[in-house]
Amino acid sequence: MDARARERIKASVVAGVFLLVGVWICVEALQVPFGSLRMPGAGFMPLVLGVTLSGLAVVLFGMDLVSREAGSTRVWPDRPEVLYLVGSLIVAVWLFDRAGFLVTMALFLGVSTKVLGRGRWLTAIVTALIGSVTTYWVFGRLLQISLPGGILSF
Amino acid sequence: MDTVQSLLYGFSVSLTATNLMYCALGVFLGTIVGVLPGIGPLGGITILLPTTFGMEPVSAIIMLAGIYYGAMYGGSTTSILVNIPGEAASVVTCFDGYQMARQGRAGPALSIAAFASYIAGTLSVLGLMLLAPTLARLALRFGPPEQFALMVLGLVILAYMGTGSVLKALMMIVLGLTVAMVGIDHLSGFTRFTHGRVELGDGVSFLAVAMGLFGVAEILVNVEQKVVQDIIKPKLSTLLPTREDWKRSIGPILRGSGVGFVIGILPGAAHIISTFVSYAMEKRLSRHPEEFGTGRIEGVAGPEAANNAATGGAMIPFLALGIPSSAATATMMVALLIHGVKPGPMLMEQRPEVFWGLIASMYIGNVMLLILNLPLVGLFVNLLRVPQHTLFPFILLICFVGVYSVGLSTTDLWIMAISGVAGYLLRKVGFDPASIVLAMVLGPMMEQALRQGLMMSKGEFGIFLSRPISAAMLAVAVLLLVAHLITVLRRAHARREATTQEATA
């Protein structure tokens, strides 16, 4: 398969995703009263937006179909570090309430510093400890923001 | 109060020790944001927004505005010394700025960029001061149909003036407007798109989405594009421009200021577009256009003046009409709303300390930037040596704390993470998610204006066309879309003809 064909498939998938989102918005909008033109209800604007997005997605699909340009963008990350970072971000959000701010952020800083820098573990651990404790002190103590204590509840 | 008296009042507000400190902090942080590649002014404002929650509204907006125009100053440093634009509006500065640096003229390039930014910044504040009150008085006559038409026109111009595909920009706008619909409908009390989740009752957190799209996504994109930096260190003895440099730069600076200010008022990527327009204009006016790109000082002075003047212009619709024209001013508007201050035509009457305090602080901030930027060039350049593997995790950490501190909810953290990944993927497939943020801010206002307009007319859409101001604005919006459609069709036709000719040859 040549680059142009691959690019067209990718563009069609993108347009398809937007079409699905548009249809989903319409379905959700129909769950609340549409009202009338004299007295538009809560579903009025969302339905208009859903229909507009679906229409624009169809136009995008059509334009990609007739387009003769071949692109070169890859959706999949070129470097594995992106995936590691996304993974650690998701784990950190999941852990945030459960393990608490200090433990979660120390783990997040340590792992992401190690993954991005490909350096020594010792450097990552020192960065993680100093970074998380300093941030906790600045935001939690100095600025009085209520951060979750988690397993180190104090 | 007349303008002079109001400005003096503004100076009395902004010259207090606290506000001076926040102004200095804002421009300093803005310069750092501008210097560091990967964090633009929008990302900087969003990430630092939560730190303003404990401040007085006027101090908060002074600091955020300082970050905004400070980033424009800082962006030129990396363009000139490393050939990497610190933010998108400094791309054009690379063309001649880096060439000047390679010829041993980094000092004059940096200083003319700073002086151009200062002159343009000050002139644009003058324009803002004179134009905003007039526009605000006019806006007081606007009813729901005019407000709706104005927002439609603004969003169409945003798509039209953007840097990518108009169709894709329109899709991002619709997506942003839809995100703004989540939560309780304040006119009827029904909840929309929440699926019973109480946390979403008040809507999707603007900060979480903005932080995801411009903090997290920006970092993911930058992690992928590892850059090798070859930094040129300027010699302080050759820092100042010569008389000849000034002679060649003053025209481009004044023209760039005008172009930047006017384009800045329009929605869209104004500060980026203004630099390209200014560069093209200087090249056209020059007796030696062939030398552009080889180190002409006019190629630095004009665009640098334009992107700074655009910041003043961009403040006009946001302050006078309460309708932001860019994602950065939308974020500043959210900051003011969080503090209970509603930007718009009544701002000057109801909160003169915020309006005039901000304007006066921008005069002061521009002087501070000039004083800061020239002697501290060495320090800012050294910031580029901070390794990405240290910088990026810390920025993400601040995103976490910032988002959590507002709602104390992990739902907001999930929204940030999802928006971050979505923003990264959208960029990869050619969409610019900046429009989402602006549409999110305009969404509730637009819906209210549309529904109120229809209620006023008892369901007749004609109300939007029968009132002259709204009809004119909608006509311009339609004309822009038609003009774009014609351009697209012409290009497609030309391409088809070229392919046919190739085939027959």
Say whether pLDDT at B334 is over 90. Answer: no
What average pLDDT score do residues B125-150 get? 86
User: From start to end of A12-133, where are the E strands?
Assistant: none
pLDDT at B192: 93
For testing the chain B interface, which of A49, A67, A86 should be mutated: the one with the most B CBs within 10 Å? A49
Tokens of B368: 């501070």
Which residues in B lie closer than 8 A to residue A77 (C-beta atoms)?
Answer: 220, 224
Question: 3-class DSSP state for residue A40?
Answer: strand
Alpha helices in B36-89 (DSSP H): 41-48, 57-82
Task: Supply angle C-alpha B195, B199, B202, rounded to 5.
Answer: 95
Domain layout of chain B by residue ranges: 3-227+237-504
Q: Please report which helix (H) or strand (E) contains residue B434, including its range.
A: helix B434-456
B223/A18 touch (CB, cutoff 8 Å), yes or no: no
Handedness of CA B169, B172, B174, B180 (dihedral sign): negative
B454/A38 touch (CB, cutoff 8 Å), yes or no: yes
Q: Are B110 and B80 in contact (CB under 8 A)?
A: yes
Instruction: Give the end-to-end CA distance of chain A in Å, rounded to a whole number.
Output: 60
Domain layout of chain A by residue ranges: 3-66, 80-152
The pTM (predicted TM-score) of the whole model is 0.81
B414/A93 touch (CB, cutoff 8 Å), yes or no: yes
pLDDT at A109: 92
Predicted confidence (pLDDT) per residue in B264-309, tens digit: 887 766 677 788 889 888 988 888 888 888 889 999 999 999 988 9
Q: How far apart are CA A151 and CA A141, in angstroms?
A: 18
pLDDT at B454: 92
Contacting residues for B347 by C-beta, under 8 A, at least 6 apart: B136, B319, B320, B322, B341, B354, B355
Question: 3-class DSSP state for residue B295?
Answer: coil
Q: Band the pLDDT of B470: cuts 50, 70, 90.
A: very high
pLDDT at A10: 77
pLDDT at B374: 74
pLDDT at B496: 78
Q: Are A126 and A113 in contact (CB under 8 A)?
A: no
A145/B401 touch (CB, cutoff 8 Å), yes or no: yes
Average pLDDT of chain B, as a whole number: 85
Predicted confidence (pLDDT) per residue in B76-104, tens digit: 887 788 776 666 677 788 888 888 888 88
**B484 in contact with chain A, both atoms CB, cutoff 8 A:** no
B167/A57 touch (CB, cutoff 8 Å), yes or no: no
Predicted confidence (pLDDT) per residue in A39-76, tens digit: 899 999 999 999 999 999 999 988 877 665 555 556 67
What is the distance, to the nearest Å, from the Cα of residue B485 to the centroid of all Cα atoms in its chain?
27
**Residue in B233, B183, B178, B179 with CA at minimum distance from that of residue B208:** B179
Q: Are B208 and B403 in contact (CB under 8 A)?
A: yes
Name the residue of chain A whose CA is nearest to B194's CA: A28
What is the percentage of chain B residues whose pLDDT exceeds 90? 25
The more confidently predicted of residues B188 and A107 is A107
Tokens of B235: 């010699």
Tokens of B400: 């976490």
Count of residues making up chain B: 505
Predicted confidence (pLDDT) per residue in B413-465, tens digit: 999 999 999 999 998 888 988 889 888 988 998 999 999 999 998 888 889 99
Q: How far apart are CA B309 and CA B325, in angstroms?
A: 15
pLDDT at B172: 94
Residue B364 phi/psi, 5-degree rounding, is -65, -45
Contacting residues for A46 by C-beta, under 8 A, at least 6 apart: A25, A28, A29, A32, B178, B181, B192, B193
Burial of B228 (0-12, 13-18, 19+ CB in 10 A): exposed
pLDDT at B129: 85
**Cβ-nearest to A53 among B54, B171, B405:** B171
Lowest mean pLDDT among A20-34, A67-81, B144-158, B183-197: A67-81
For testing the chain A interface, which of B168, B174, B442 should be mutated: the one with the most A CBs within 10 Å? B174
Query: Which of the residue ranges A127-131, B89-93, B345-349 has the most confident prediction, judged by mean pLDDT?
Result: A127-131
Burial of A115 (0-12, 13-18, 19+ CB in 10 A): buried
The more confidently predicted of residues B214 and B424 is B424
Question: One-letter amino acid identity for A15?
Answer: A
pLDDT at A18: 95
Q: Are A46 and A25 in contact (CB under 8 A)?
A: yes
Q: How far apart are CA A120 and CA B95, in angstroms?
A: 39
Q: Are A33 and B188 in contact (CB under 8 A)?
A: yes
pLDDT at B344: 85
pLDDT at B233: 63
Q: How far apart are CA B14 and CA B2, in angstroms?
A: 18
Say whether pLDDT at B398 is over 90. Answer: no
Tokens of B50: 């939560």
Contacting residues for A12 by C-beta, under 8 A, at least 6 apart: A61, A64, A65
